[in-house]
Amino acid sequence: MNTKKEKPSILWYDLETFGLDSHYDRIAQFAAIRTDLELNQIGSEILLYCKLSSDYLPDPLACLVTGITPYIVNEKGLKEVEFIKKIRDEFSTPNTVVTGYNSINFDDEFIRNALYRNLFDPYEREYKNGCSRWDIINLVRAAYDLRPNGIQWPAKKENGNPSFKLTDITEANNIEQIGAHDALVDVRATIEVARLIKTKQPLLYKWSFDHRKKQLMKNLLKAPFGEPVLHTHPKYTSKNGCTSIVMPITFDIINSNNVICFNLKEDITPLLEADEENILYTHGLVNIAYNKCAFVSPLSILKPDLEKRLNIDKQEALSRAKLLKDHPEIIMKIRKALSSQDIKGVDDTDFQLYNGFFKDEDNKRFRLIHDASEKEKLELSKALKFDDPRAKELVYRHVLRNYLEYQSDQVKEEWKSFCSHRIVSPPGKIMVNLDFYNRKIKEKLSLDTTSEKEKEILNQLLQYGEELTNTLFN
């Protein structure tokens, strides 16, 4: 494919979900608007809903936030496989920069898991055909810290810290956002916030946009013991801002996209004294990912007035950096600690996206499943020999979540058994089981503070739960 023929564009998107766990919870709504690099809209707005399968109950509190119920998505929506394929096609348009507001830490994780559940490569849309991803939330934080002029900055009432909630930013700057927690409304608001920063602080905007690329980030964050840099991140947030001086120490030997750094605002003594068992828990250690649009800037921009406003003592930080370089044993301690970590995930296929890449041969087998007719998919999967231990169960669930109506009565009964067990006893630490679902709905219905609109949603959820249990347990 000749990607040069496609002009670069930005696809701004947002999700509404039925919960917060990206491995388990499902997407309710997807919205997107494509613009050129000057933020002029290209084409029509996109709005999609995703049907729910019978092995899942939504979090009632999430439904109250979004106003979206299972009835809405099941009436308006697509099967998950069709839903995520449409999204994948949009994301994979050559030279597309997929962008959102806190999308990399939240929305992108839901997208990856939906692709994984439906036998698509979870990552290739992020790098193939000139595509990439971006996230403007750290750009907004950096604008507050480094280039605040021309923008109104709201503060949290409880502590005076800056607020970076999209609704607060838009309200403070007279950007219309009526109907927050509707994906399309939030997409429009995100574009307007980006336009505001691009207009008022164009060089900062360009820096963030350019440094979405891993190689430019690697040029800034060199390890071991690279030069100190400024890092803007929510973990540093105070009334003074969200930026600190950090020093790259070593690459993460488990994930080559990560570099372990130290926040030079903190005392380095605990780090120097830590042993291999507890060094990773030392206060001040920071993990920065090259591929997650961190906002990192050179120390040269830290002029005296900015140093004072951010409450950073540059000389003290540089003294700590020099002392760290005198202790190269820290690098080996951290690397040994990383290599000895016993990372145990949930023993359930839906939670195992990050248990490794599928081999090419298994990906070819997945494509055979996609190409087969609805009636043939399950039988074909039984005949195929997969290399990865996750694959058989992943395919089984994918087929029955999306193509149950094409299966035999025996298979349907087996699936009912799976679904009934899953909603009664979900895997891992998932709290929303059938008992929690019904109890939480009834608790909210009994409160005088629950509005009529909320009661309407809750009663729909109660009805949906009753219909689902009647289907599964009878």
**Cβ burial, residue 340 (10 Å; 0-12/13-18/19+):** exposed
Mean pLDDT of 166-190: 89
CA 214-216-218 angle, 5° bins: 70
pLDDT at 293 over 70: yes
pLDDT of residue 254: 84
Distance separating alpha carbons of residues 366 and 381, to the nearest angstrom: 9
Task: Please say whether the beta carbons of 293 and 135 come within 8 A.
Answer: yes
On whether the CB atoms of residues 390 and 352 are closer than 8 A, the answer is yes
pTM of the full structure: 0.95
Q: What's the pLDDT tens digit per position in 200-216?
A: 999 999 999 999 999 99
What CATH superfamily is the domain 137-210?
Ribonuclease H-like superfamily/Ribonuclease H (3.30.420.10)
**Structure confidence by residue, pLDDT tens digits, 313-334:** 999 999 999 999 999 999 999 9
Cis peptide before 224 (omega within 30 of 0): yes
Report pLDDT digits (tens) over 438-456: 999 999 999 999 999 999 9
* Domain 214-339 belongs in CATH node 3.20.20.10: no
Do 433 and 426 meet the contact criterion of CB atoms below 8 Å apart?
yes
Residue boundaries of the structural domains of the chain: 137-210, 214-339, 349-473
User: Which runs of E-coded beta strand occur in 236-367?
Assistant: 243-251, 258-263, 285-289, 295-298
DSSP code per residue over 55-68: T----HHHHHHH--
Q: Same CATH fold, 214-339 and 137-210?
A: no
The label of the residue with tokens 């096609």 reads 89
pLDDT at position 180 is 64
